Structure 1
Amino acid sequence: MAPTAPDTGGTVRPRIVYVHGSGPKPRPELLKAQWDRALFGRDLGGESHLAYWAPVLHGEPLPDPVPDPLEGTPDGSVETRGEEGAEEGSPRPPVLEDPAQFMARTATEARSGDAGGGVARSAGGGALGGWLRDMTYLAEALALAEEPRPGPGEEPLPEALPLPRPVRTALFRRLVKHTFEDAHAYFFGGAGRAVRQAVVEALDAAGADADGAGPLVVVGHSLGSVAAYEVLAARNPRVDLFVTLGSPLAVTEVQDCLAAPPAVPSRTARWLNASDGRDVVALDHTLRPEYAPPGRITDLLVSNGSENHHGVLEYLADALVRDPVRRAWTRPAPGGD
């Protein structure tokens, strides 16, 4: 049974704010409803708010029937489709674009698309550039490692993804492409301010700074968790629970790009950080060593069954994530700070 808000005569309402991750997204009403259903089993209507920043980098939303490989499928099922024209027995595509070529192309595209007059650093240089390059190699290594390779005296390697290799390759390619390009645009391409503004507007719509307001939960996925964190650190509203899913915030090179040193925002009561060990975006799975005070952070390793282990809908539906969110969302508002 889906939880309901505490009966407070209609004066106090719980609020939840979602911040989506990288890549093009479905229209905002559909995306918010998908997150609502994954967490609560129903559409929350005006009690939930979405920081929808996809148009900053991706223009038109995805058509409704098209699943988003970076979000996961709405019902949590695995889509078994490959690239267009891929059939059983057809030649296998290359695993991934060569990492060096990818980094060079990303830098060129970022420069040509930067309306602000230049990128602070190229995608191939600097701390974040090194992280992006390493992520590319890791994605390639994972794709290769998942391919069974029977040989004399050898057992096939286990399949981490229940999909044929061409499909897994396509998923990894899309994950890497959208994650890297959006991360570069956010940190170095001038898009960060607009992305954070979308978070600010969603918090305003939720009444984050309203006196006597009900519980506030903020959930950020992937690059959206970075934007959510930076806004909470700068604005510091009272947050009952901050949830980060498949987040790169534990990666040192990402921390180097943050506006302020890593720390739990002083008015954030609890922080839950969940990741799958196979999620190539969450390369480091523990925030507690870097974000003080550690007593307010819980790091969780969960099993994300999406095609690339990064899908947010599968994260949200996991009981280790869903149940704490429901409890925080229904908790009566405290009497003060």
Structure 2
Amino acid sequence: MTPRLVFIHGVGKPREATTHLDEWRRALGEGMRAAGHSRRVPPLLDGTSVDVRFAYYGDLFSGGQAQEATAHLPQEEEAELAQMLLDAVDARLDEPQDDREAQVLRRARNQLAPDGEAQGAGDLLRRVLAAGNTLLALPGLRTIGGWTSVGLMVHRLRQVRQYLARKHPDAAGVSLDTRIRNRVRAELDPAGPTLVVAHSLGTVVAFETLHAHKAPVPLFVTLGSPLGMQAAVQPLVRPQPLRTPDQVREWLNFWDRDDFVTARPQLERFVAPNAASVAPVSRRVDSDGAWVHPAAKYLAQPGVAGPIAEALEAVTPA
């Protein structure tokens, strides 16, 4: 039986699934070569020994363009966006890189929650935009995940919020989050082993989808996950309390120090093990340059690609 490898993307603009599948596969091949698994690369890239798929759901999001994302938001959305930024800022303040970064982070926090108080009604969006502009002054943050403007930052954080809201039904009454999970579920092997590699918001989607999946998942890899956002994400993820999906046999969680999205990245601190005692294992990677959040940047790391190659070897028939 040919093993299946499913990539699950995160936030961002609508994309061409085939193009991104090729990008992720090439990046993984680069990382495998660097990790000493060169012989795995040709059959991976040409699809002869691995059924590689890309679970795409980006077209399901509403919200228009980035410039529209900051125009008119319901107060509930404003509060949740502010909390997402506050979670990330507080996590980064635990271990600032230097005094300058700490100063920028404190300023952004004061803009989000003046005098240490929780956000009030009326001017939340103004605070989010002000804090966003402040954070873009951090070296590298302007290019992390393509956040070239505060409008784009808000636009992409809104997608996390839209998924977790459990709303936005279609004509048949099916909520957005359910439709997204259905897209992912359709790519998983219903009977055989599936290795799952998820990025950003996709890590939340994959986590929830795998709880309803019955076939084996030899390896679950999460890249740049926002599951570490303690107030804005963790309480809204299902099922509660958070634990490793039952079919997962190994969970590796990778994070980069310069990836602002990861907030508190040590998932094993708040995700309980499953019945087989499998818990997430978090590993730090350090990418060159400022553009560290994209999935391809993670996949090209030998420390990420090596374990994926080894897991594929273990499930590929001789």
TM-score higher than 0.5 here?
yes
Residue-by-residue CA offset, 1:255-310 (whole Å, 9 max, x unaligned)? 20012121011110000000111211100111112112275321011113354421
TM-score if structure 1 supplies the norm length?
0.64
Indicate the percent of aligned positions where both proteins have the same amino acid: 27
Query: Aligned partners of 1:248 and 1:291: how far apart in 2?
Result: 13
Partner residue in 2 for 1:202: 187
* Pairing partner for 1:186 from 163, 167, 171: 163
Query: Aligned partners of 2:216 and 2:58: how far apart in 1?
Result: 26
Partner residue in 2 for 1:55: 59
Unaligned runs of 5+ in 2: 31-41, 102-136, 169-175
The yes-or-no answer on 1:245 pairing with 2:223 is: yes
Q: Counterparts of 1:22-61 in structure 2 under 5 Å?
A: 22-41=11-30, 43-45=45-47, 47-57=51-61
Unaligned runs of 5+ in 1: 1-11, 61-96, 112-120, 147-158
Matched residue type, 1:193: T
The yes-or-no answer on 1:16 pairing with 2:1 is: no
Q: How far off is 1:55 after superposition?
A: 0.6
Partner residue in 2 for 1:115: none
Residue-by-residue CA offset, 1:95-150 (whole Å, 9 max, x unaligned)? xx9xxxx8xx47x34x5xxxxxxxxx71233xx445324168679999x947xxxx
Partner residue in 1 for 2:197: 219
The yes-or-no answer on 1:258 pairing with 2:237 is: yes
TM-score if structure 2 supplies the norm length?
0.67
**Of Structure 1 and Structure 2, which has the larger fraction of its residues in helix?**
2
The yes-or-no answer on 1:132 pairing with 2:116 is: no
Partner residue in 2 for 1:325: 308
Query: Aligned partners of 1:59 and 1:44: how far apart in 2?
Result: 37
Residue-by-residue CA offset, 1:140-199 (whole Å, 9 max, x unaligned)? 999x947xxxxxxxxxxxx985x7x98789536366234311112111243212211111
Query: Aligned partners of 2:148 and 2:289: how far apart in 1?
Result: 10
Q: Counterparts of 1:108-147 in structure 2 under 5 Å?
A: 108-109=72-73, 122-125=76-79, 128-134=80-86, 145=100
CA gap of 1:133–1:198, structure 2 versus 1, over 3 A, is same
Alignment RMSD: 3.7
Partner residue in 1 for 2:33: none
Instruction: Give the secondary structure class of the aligned counterpart of 1:29.
Output: helix
* Pairing partner for 1:177 from 134, 143, 154: 154
Query: Aligned partners of 1:241 and 1:195: how far apart in 2?
Result: 21
